[in-house]
Structure 1
Amino acid sequence: MGSFSLVHWLILGVILVLVLGGGRFSNMMGDVAKGIKQFKKGMAEEDEPVRDPSRIETKKAAEPVVEVQAEKLREDR
């Protein structure tokens, strides 16, 4: 009495298709498939490019703040 039989589920499915419409249901499934493809594509891409360990990158040393401020004071006088 508390469970649905196969006939009940089929009738419910037909009613849902009639209410939602066949095109709307297929559009929803198409959107779900696109979302899954985008997720897989995002997982396959590398987050950060691999750097060549033999290449040494040099950075310009930052000027000390005290010296820069002292030069500005000299220019103002």
Structure 2
Amino acid sequence: MGNFSLMHWIVVALVILVLFGRGKISETMGDFGKGVKSFRKGLSEDEHSQDTPPAAKDARLTGPVVEPVKDQQNTRV
């Protein structure tokens, strides 16, 4: 009972095709492929972000340093 022959797998595949249809299976596999592709892209982006030193990350995120503007109306000459 533990081993399935090739004929069993063919019957299982035909039942799945009848239940879901060829279009639904190909759509599902396409979505699965897109998910794997985006997962791999996310992993490679994380690896690249770990290569940059932390100081470069902080400088890139904080932006330029801006000095506060003094109020010129209240100054006396």
Normalising by the residue count of structure 2, what TM-score does the alignment of the two structures yield? 0.57
Number of residue equivalences: 54
Q: CA separation in 2, counterparts of 1:47 and 1:20?
A: 42
Q: CA separation in 1, counterparts of 2:49 and 2:31?
A: 25
Deviation at 1:4, TM superposition (A): 2.0
Tell me the residue number matched to 1:33: 33
Q: CA separation in 1, counterparts of 2:21 and 2:49?
A: 41
Q: CA separation in 2, counterparts of 1:34 and 1:17?
A: 22
Q: Which has the larger radius of gyration?
A: 1
Q: Which has the higher helix share?
A: 2
Deviation at 1:47, TM superposition (A): 4.2
Give structure 1 regions of 4+ aligned residues with deviation exceeding 3 angstroms. Answer: 46-50
Matches within 5 A, 1:7-22: 7-22=7-22
Identity score, percent: 33
Deviation at 1:12, TM superposition (A): 1.1
Gap runs ≥5 in structure 1: 61-77
Normalising by the residue count of structure 1, what TM-score does the alignment of the two structures yield? 0.57
Q: Secondary structure at the match of 1:23?
A: helix
Deviation at 1:32, TM superposition (A): 0.6
